[in-house]
Homo-oligomer: A and B are copies of this chain.
Amino acid sequence: MDFVGFEKHDHTICIGDLIARAEAVCRENNLQFTASRRRVLEILAETHKAMGAYDILDRLAQEGRGSQPPVAYRALDFLVRHGFAHKIEHLNAYIACAHPHGCHAPAFLICRACDAVAETAWTPKIGGLGQAARGAGFSIERTVIEATGLCPRCDVEPRA
């Protein structure tokens, strides 16, 4: 299992890759990757931190793309629905998908000091939990796996 988010890396590649992937998927599936949706994904992709819907809305408003909540929420719904972004339930915030390739039941490591978020791919029916759920007769459709704590940098030097 690998994580994305805490290591230094060439971030322009992250962004380019993500956008390109989204474009391709939309083309294949006849989804409309509209200007607003694209822009929201770009904004999310600028950072590996989770952003609130209203943070995004502020950005859109600055750019003259409309200033009311539904503008942001609709784009986010689309991105989340199709796996281009994820919602961090614990923070009521959104983040670009860090694994645009392949399927998805992501898990997140959230640093409570610097708000960085790392994402990992996760086996579809999470080891023990999936098995136990089936044992209980429960059929899992979606999972929320979020761990809060300190990332490598903040663990060493608090207030990084």
Is the pair B118, A138 in contact by a Cβ cutoff of 8 Å? yes
**A120 CB-CB contact with B under 8 Å:** yes
With A118-B136, A132-B120 as contacts: A89 and B141 at CB distance below 8 Å: no
Is the pair A149, B155 in contact by a Cβ cutoff of 8 Å? no
* Number of chain A residues whose Cβ lies closer than 8 Å to a Cβ of chain B: 38
**A26 CB-CB contact with B under 8 Å:** no
Is the pair B6, A144 in contact by a Cβ cutoff of 8 Å? no
**A137 CB-CB contact with B under 8 Å:** yes
Is the pair B145, A129 in contact by a Cβ cutoff of 8 Å? yes
| Interface CB pairs A-B, < 8 A, 7 | A1-B128, A118-B136, A133-B149, A138-B149, A138-B151, A144-B144, A144-B147
